[in-house]
Amino acid sequence: MTPTSTPRASPQPPANTRQSLQSLLTSARPDLAPYEILRKHFHSHPELSLQESSTADTVASHLRALGVYEIHEGIGGHGVAAVLRNGGGKTVLLRADMDALPVEEKTGLPFASTVTMKDTDGVVKPVMHACGHDVHVTCLLAAAEALAELAKKSDDTWKGTLVLVFQPNEERGGGAKAMVDDGLYDKVPIPDVVLGQHVLPFKAGRLGSRVGIMLAASDSFKVTLSGRGGHASMPNRTIDPVVMAASVVMRLQTIVSREVDPSGMVVITVGSLQAGQTENVISDRAELRLNVRTIDRDTREKVLSSIRRIIKAECEASGASEPPLIESTSSFPATVNDQETTETLHSSFRDFFDEYNDDQPRMNGSEDFSYLGTAIGKPCSFWFIGGIDPDLWDEVEKKGRIAEEIPVNHSPFFAPVMQPTLRIGVDALCLAAMTFLRVSG
């Protein structure tokens, strides 16, 4: 299911089985009106990566009010974890990410963000939940209440241990590792499965997942090229880093077209090129920021090696005053959905949801979610939920203008509709947990 595709029809289970589980989850689903208010709060009070302190405080306060969770705060920065023990059984970890992006919001929502924050580079920037993390946090908090309510209802709903992780710093790819390195699994039980979800720009009410690679690996770099500055009228007395940078940008694109297997997937993007301050001065340095997407380990290593080789060679060819400085700024592993875990979820999701695609096309976006599982050798599974108003989606789809009129993640116009997005997200998290924790089903 891509943003323009229609999900395959799901085979329906026996009516009594489906109705039983639907009745169980529906009876425990909390009133979502307060969670709509909470989502608005998170959306209008976004916080940049590594600065999610108020979000984390709100999360911990809400969990504390439920009265049944063991809560751990300040893990790997502003990470929060909560544990609900309900007898013997499996341990399931559900995860949501909390950080926002340095984007100026243009959605026009009545609860749109007007927040600015000083980023870690010292620059004050506008801040927006342009990737839907406000939705993720809200859904997991509502699921926390629903699963706690189910545990109270009777002894035959679910047994085991539920671990909730509210992760900071996903956008820079460091939050999951930071939480693990800071002793997450010394504080909470080791999970048997690690599960998570993400809202995307397709029709709300639809969900999708797949076995195998779900999201690409991502590597980002800051590259500094050194030249020799001078007067624009005397370029012969300078080493122009702008020309050097332009050569680097153009040559990097030949890695995709000439060095890697055309049947594979590689994207190399130079998202920023900065040099100089005015038109009559040749700068003494240029700075590039690169992002690379790959889906297999061998190709990733080859591409990263080629990037370093080309940058160094272009600098030598230009007579650079110093070797280039290539600094890693973020690194995300590929998200690979475990086969057994994901096929088990397929069965539950097909049974419960009317529009579930078990062959969701792979995306070239990236996530650090899977590190929560791979760091301890445990299986992971990740799925997508749609966030676009169904009526708007249908109207735009009829016109054949999905790409032109539906904003995507990281856009200043990206605004997942409140419902049915929250309801589907809450149900998906609860159903995923119940798939592995339910006593009978």
Catalytic amino acids? 99, 170
Kind and range of the H or E element at 181?
Answer: helix 175-181
Give the strand pairing for 281-282 and 230-231: antiparallel
- The secondary structure of the chain in percent helix, strand, coil, rounded to multiples of 5, reads 35, 25, 35
What's CA 148's distance to the chain center, in Å?
Answer: 26
Give the strand pairing for 335-337 and 212-215: antiparallel
What's the alpha-carbon Rg for the chain, to the nearest Å?
Answer: 24
How many CB atoms lie under 10 A from the CB of residue 14?
9
Q: How many CA atoms lie within 13 A of 134 on its CB side?
A: 31
Q: 139: closest CA among 438, 419, 441, 413?
A: 419
Give the C-alpha separation, 19 to 15, whole Å: 6
Give the C-alpha separation, 239 to 419, whole Å: 57
Say how many residues make up the chain.
441
Q: 159: closest CA among 85, 96, 65?
A: 85
Is the link from the previous residue into 420 a cis peptide, with omega within 30 of 0?
A: yes
SS3 33: helix
Q: 24: closest CA among 170, 159, 163, 150?
A: 150
Under a CB-based contact definition with an 8 Å cutoff, are residues 226 and 283 in contact? Answer: no
Q: 174: closest CA among 60, 49, 293, 87?
A: 49
DSSP string, 389-428: -HHHHHHHHHHT-HHHHSPPTTSTT----STTHHHHHHHH
**In Å, how far are 3, 128, 161, 209, 245 from 403, measured between CA atoms?**
9, 22, 42, 21, 31
